[in-house]
Amino acid sequence: MKLSIDRQIYSDACISKVVYWLSAQYAIERTLDGTIETLSISRNDGHPFDETELRSQCLRLLNDYKLRQTIDDETRDIRTILYAKAFADDENLTVE
């Protein structure tokens, strides 16, 4: 099965995370042509699989990781401040 993904919509990191979780069951080859990345997917055990189901699972995962990426990007600074306040020894740490 082949799945084409536009890298302008889904980042390399998002796609990598999807590939990571699927790789327990699937062998996935990644090729990049311009901004289009193609995943060539087959089962590790060679058994047939439901392509429609896997396609929708991939898209669901991609969308979830894209949302998580947005949350991470938007909250990186506040998270750093939060952890610094929680664990830094300097009790006088203040945020302007």
Partner 1 sequence: MKYYLLPFKFTRIGDHEVFVNEVGDMLHAPIGTAEQIVNRTIEDPELYKSLVANFFISEIRIPALLDVYAERLAEKKRFLDDYTALHIFVLTLRCNQNCIYCQASSRDEHCAASSMSRENMRLAVQHMFKSRSQYLTMEFQGGEPSLEHDLFLYGIELAEEINQTEHRHLTYVLCTNSINLTDEVMATCKQYNVLISTSLDGPSWLHNQNRGKQDSYEKVVKGITKAREILGADRVSALMTASELSLNYPIEIVDEYHKLGFTSIFLRALNPYGKATDNADWEAYTNRFIEFYKQAFEHIIELNKQGHVMIEEYAAIILRKLLTPWCTGFVDLQSPAGIVNSVLIYNYDGYMYASDESRMLAEENDFTFQIGKLSESYENLVYSPKVKEWSKVWNNEAIAGCSDCALQAYCGADPVRNHSTQGDLYGFRPTSLFCKKNKAIIEYIISCVIDRYDELMPIFRNWIR
- Applying CB under 8 A, the residues found at the interface with partner 1 are 17, 20-24, 63-65, 67-68, 70-72, 74-75, 78-79, 81-83, 85-87, 95
Nearer to partner 1, 33 or 89 (CB): 89
Say what angle helices 12-22 and 51-87 make with each other, to 10 degrees: 110
Smallest gap from residue 15 Cβ to partner 1 (A): 14
9 vs 36, which CB is nearer to partner 1?
9
Distance CA 8, CA 94 (A): 38
| Ramachandran bin of 11, using left for φ above 0, alpha for ψ from -120 to 50, beta for the remaining angles | beta
User: What is the Cα–Cα distance from 62 to 77, expressed in whole angstroms?
Assistant: 24
To the nearest whole angstrom, how small is the minimum distance from the Cβ of residue 2 to partner 1?
21
Q: How far is the CB of 46 from partner 1 (least distance, A)?
A: 18
Which residue's CB is nearer to partner 1, number 38 or number 57? Answer: 57
Whether the CB-CB separation of 14 and 61 falls below 8 Å is answered with: no
